[in-house]
Amino acid sequence: MAFHHEPVLLHEVLEYLAPEEGGVFADGTLGGGGHSEKILEALRGAGMHYGIDRDEAAIAAASARLQPFANFRALHGNFHDVKELLPEGTLLDGGLLDLGVSSYQIDTPERGFSYHENAPLDMRMDISCGMTAAEYVNTVSEKEFTRILYEYADEKWAARIAKILVEKRREKPLETTFDLVKVVDAAIPKAVRRKDDGHPARRTFQAVRIAVNDELAPLEKALNDWVDCLKPGGRLCVITFHSIEDRLVKRAFRTMQNPCICPPKAPICTCGKKPLGRAVGGAIKATKEELAFNSRSHSATLRVFVKGEGEA
């Protein structure tokens, strides 16, 4: 299958990143290379652009797509490790993170991300390492599974789904995506499922995917590391696709903008923590025009952080 990716909020990303000839940029979630291609076009053959991805299939496909650009370099790894992945001493004019699962990963049944296709439960973004979704759901405790469904997907039926999961795997280990879908179907009453705005298993699959790939726990530190890698005045653009991620990004940007931990009524700041920059633009959503042709943009939110001019 070809690695196709329709870049979300492309116009807005380019507006805020403002790539220019000679700049240095990095896309921490390379995917199909749609955003990166436009950034490279703006660099006009000068400067440098790095593309980071955990998925070797994305690295291969994007590298082929971006082969005409001599100033592109692909890096296999997790954007959480940006400081280790970028060449030593690299400072960026801008960085981009397009979080979540890619269209290619969802549309490739054998990756196990889709609840519409029956396939082995995998869900790993990097298939070369880590625990599969099958290993996870067959070993996680009922209490922990309830927690991740609540916290990672706002699932109202979390406790019931976790209880049924444990019961079903005692009879037979869960091995496929449809095995997990059947757990959700058994846990949520049919009348409720009929009224659901979307597939009733989508929240459970989201929560399992986040847990398997450890997407949220390191996110705040990763955002700080990306800002550390920016030049003064450099910009970090982050696109999220669900409210849990967006809240984490918003909170991290707010803390970087105002890191002081002194008591609110303290006459002067004594903690010594200085602002790293400022968030700009608020929660940026897709235009009506984009919503009409790019279904993935419906849930997308862009937030932007600008590093302070005095912060090296």
Q: Over the chain, what is the mean pLDDT?
A: 93
CATH of the domain at 76: 3.40.50.150
Lowest-pLDDT range, 44-48, 181-185, 188-192, 202-206? 188-192
Q: Is residue 3 part of a domain?
A: no
Lowest-pLDDT range, 1-10, 85-94, 209-218? 1-10
Through-space distance between the first and last CA atoms of the chain, rounded to whole angstroms? 43
Same structural domain for residues 94 and 229?
yes
Name every residue whose Cβ is closer than 8 Å to that of residue 64 and which is 6 or more positions away in sequence.
none
Q: Domain count of the chain? A: 2
Out of 184, 213, 242, a domain closes at 213
Same structural domain for residues 205 and 237?
no
Report the alpha-carbon distance of residue 278 to residue 75 in Å, rounded: 28
Q: Which domain holds residue 229?
A: 10-100+218-307
**What is the predicted pLDDT for the residue at 120?**
95
Same structural domain for residues 183 and 223?
no
pLDDT (average), residues 2-11: 77
Q: Is residue 312 part of a domain?
A: no
Out of 198, 213, 228, a domain closes at 213
Name every residue whose Cβ is closer than 8 Å to that of residue 119 and which is 6 or more positions away in sequence.
109, 110, 111, 112, 176, 177
Same structural domain for residues 62 and 17?
yes
**What is the predicted pLDDT for the residue at 1?**
46
pLDDT tens for 161-171 read 999 999 999 99
Out of 170, 192, 213, a domain closes at 213
Name every residue whose Cβ is closer than 8 Å to that of residue 43 and which is 6 or more positions away in sequence.
19, 20, 21, 22, 23, 25, 49, 71
Tally Cβ neighbours within 10 Å of residue 241: 19
Same structural domain for residues 132 and 92?
no
CATH of the domain at 182: 1.10.150.170
Q: Is residue 40 part of a domain?
A: yes
Same structural domain for residues 229 and 207?
no
Asked if the model's pLDDT at residue 196 lies above 50, the reply is yes
